[in-house]
Amino acid sequence: MLIPCASRRGFSLIELMVVVVLLAIMAALASVPVSGALARQDLSRSVQLIRLFDLRLRHQAQLEREPVKGLIDHQTGRLVVLVDGDPVKSFQLPQSVAVQAIGNVNRGIEVAGNGDAVSYAVQLACRGATQWVLVVGGSGQVLVDVDPRSVKMLLGVQ
């Protein structure tokens, strides 16, 4: 006697495996754009932190009416504002962002008591993407994604 097909319920192992493979492929395809978006978001956040760091340096120098120094630590990604050698404020870059180069400042960023500073550039890297950020000394304007050749020409950075 034959058993009717209607009594067979569920999916075969092959059908389940095909569904799992298709889901894995879709997940892999979706993760590529998400990674790029996360890198852009972290770089954007880092640019904002550099902008805040520079504003704080200038404000602190004007407040103290004496020179203030700022340090950018390559290893930790910390941006520190120093008054008389003591840290006043620090900013932390996202962990996924690395400082690859700093242009035009050998021993930190010196800001005069009136808020004037030299121009400097910071090269950031995050998940394979790199970006130069140029801070204009006279105005404090922050230029993002500056061409490396322009940075080299303006500041003598290699």
* Per-residue pLDDT tens over the stretch 14-42: 888 999 999 998 888 776 666 677 888 99
pTM listed for this prediction: 0.76
9 has pLDDT over 80: no
> Which of 41, 72, 42 lies closest to 57, judged by CA?
72
pLDDT at 38: 84
For 65, the token pair is 């009416």
3-class secondary structure, 97: strand
In a domain, 7, yes or no: no
In a domain, 5, yes or no: no
Helices (H) and strands (E) in the chain, counts: 2, 8
Domain membership of residue 141 as a residue range? 14-155
> Which has more confidence, 51 or 106?
51
Characterize the bridge pairing of strands 120-126 and 142-144. unpaired
9/3 Cα distance (integer angstroms): 13
What CATH number does residue 98 fall under? 3.55.40.10
